Chain A
Amino acid sequence: MPATAPPAADHALGDTIIEMRHVDKFYGDFHVLRDIDLSVARGERIVICGPSGSGKSTLIRCLNQLEEHQKGEIVIDGTAVHARLKGIEDIRREIGMVFQSFNLFPHLTALENCMLAPMKVRGIPKAEAEATARKILERVHIPEQAHKYPIQLSGGQQQRVAIARSLCMNPKIMLFDEPTSALDPEMVSEVLDVMVELAESGMTMLCVTHEMGFARKVADRVIFMDAGEIVEVAPPERFFTAPQNERTRKFLGQILHAQTQAH
């Protein structure tokens, strides 16, 4: 039984693909994740928000073990992941990750960025990898930038290449860690549009973001974290109109105020 209530989704959800049970993580003495319980269904879209330093990045980075947890269990599509797992690469290649700072490979073109892992990790022949990469660059609306290097692209374009690079591995899960936070305001929507389209295609997504419009539009559930804990989990409708926890209300007050000011 998942510890959290099943989502009130308007689209079909599958079986459980991510399961976190009583997960604790420490940086030295610092208790960064506290007793995290979370279960995500195949096809579900989750938005994670919360103040800076609350452990949002750490939580999603534990899923592909860029960070290791010390206690509890994390099960990805049937496999328990942990620091000493042999073949963690086999899990990671099924989980795409998009970073705040893009992290494109600077010495490779957009197309090559998208072809590298499919060729080296999945052993896909070059011609096929290129065909897929071109198709997916089209899907993120930048086919004409295929031969440009990251430095020659705008932030929004770079982030869309980064999304394409992950999608070329044909992952089962996509993780986003504040994908629009490093972007100039006028480029935020081109990235969010791609993410919305991805959500509509049925991808399982966990997105750390403060873009509340995006959360309202695609999230099945919104998670609020504070001080290493999951404080509140609710469908967006209820999350935004009737938050249960005092800390959630305070955070929403601040964030909505800030976003109104910005727009």
Chain B
Amino acid sequence: MSYEFDFADVFAAWPELLQGLLNSLVLSALAMAIGMVVSVAGALGKTSGPGWLRRIIDEYIELIRNTPFLIQIFVIYFGLPAAGLKFSSNAAALLALVVNVGAYGIEIIRAGIESIQKGQVEAGKSLGMRPLQIFRYIILKPAIQAIYPSLTSQFILLMLNTSVCSAIAASELTAVAGDIQSRTFRSFEVYFVATCLYLGLSVFFWTVFAGIERAFLRKPTR
């Protein structure tokens, strides 16, 4: 045992680490919020849109679920500028995360929608509600209740995936840790601290998800 642990340099960089942590949190939260909108809209399109729209959504889902996330980031950050769309690394990271989580989120929410009994829709129709009203007021909440655990697991995966965005130098926690490591050569120490911070992020999001469930999605019991 010749290696001596020394956290002093790493702790000295705490303002950078804190900023990285904060950036990861904001990036994750934004991607979750926008990803949720994409997932709900996509699931609506896939369950009740016209045939051409369903096919486009299917292709999108297959494309994303069968290619690596890192490649998706590179395509958005390095590839799209060739088509005249240029993003900052943070914007590209957010876009990539949304595009990625949307593909999984659509399938999860679609499963929730399909778990709703036909009679619910018929009751809505018989009351004179229009299709979008039926979706919004009758189907959506029970559908989300039904698949909430899968959805939140997917969102935690999204948060962990923000780490991959360091590859395009987005200013999130893993990139910050890499900077500190190359400056101090304290690899173990810095990544140990990063691990703890990611764990903390997970605990934070799980707590928020549980709070949302308690406040809005609790199912009545007998």
Contact = CB atoms under 8 A, between A and B. Distances in A.
B220 A151 contact: yes
Interface string A57-90: 0000000101000000000000000000000011
A103 B133 CA distance: 17
B129 A96 contact: no
Nearest to A118: B127
Contacts of A166: 126-127
A149 B142 CA distance: 13
B221 A151 contact: yes
Interface in B188-222: 219-222
Interface string A92-120: 11111101010111110000000011001
B119 interface: yes
B33 interface: no
A120 B136 CA distance: 11
B113 to A, nearest CB: 14
Nearest to A95: B126
Q: Contact residue range for chain B?
A: 20 to 34
B128 A107 contact: no
B185 interface: no
B153 to A, nearest CB: 22
B120 A105 contact: yes
Q: Contact residue range for chain A?
A: 20 to 34
A120 B137 contact: yes
Given A101-B119, A103-B120, A151-B221, A120 B133 contact: yes
B138 interface: yes
B145 to A, nearest CB: 7
Contacts of A103: 117, 119-120, 122-123
Given A101-B119, A116-B137, A121-B133, A165 B220 contact: no
B183 interface: no
A169 B127 CA distance: 7
A152 interface: yes
B211 to A, nearest CB: 18
A162 B137 CA distance: 17
17 contacts: A64-B125, A66-B126, A90-B128, A94-B128, A99-B122, A103-B119, A105-B120, A105-B142, A106-B142, A117-B127, A117-B129, A120-B133, A121-B127, A121-B129, A121-B133, A151-B222, A165-B127
Given A89-B128, A120-B137, A169-B127, 7 more contacts: A66-B122, A89-B130, A95-B126, A97-B122, A99-B122, A107-B145, A107-B220
Interface of B: 117, 119-120, 122-130, 133, 137-138, 141-142, 145, 219-222
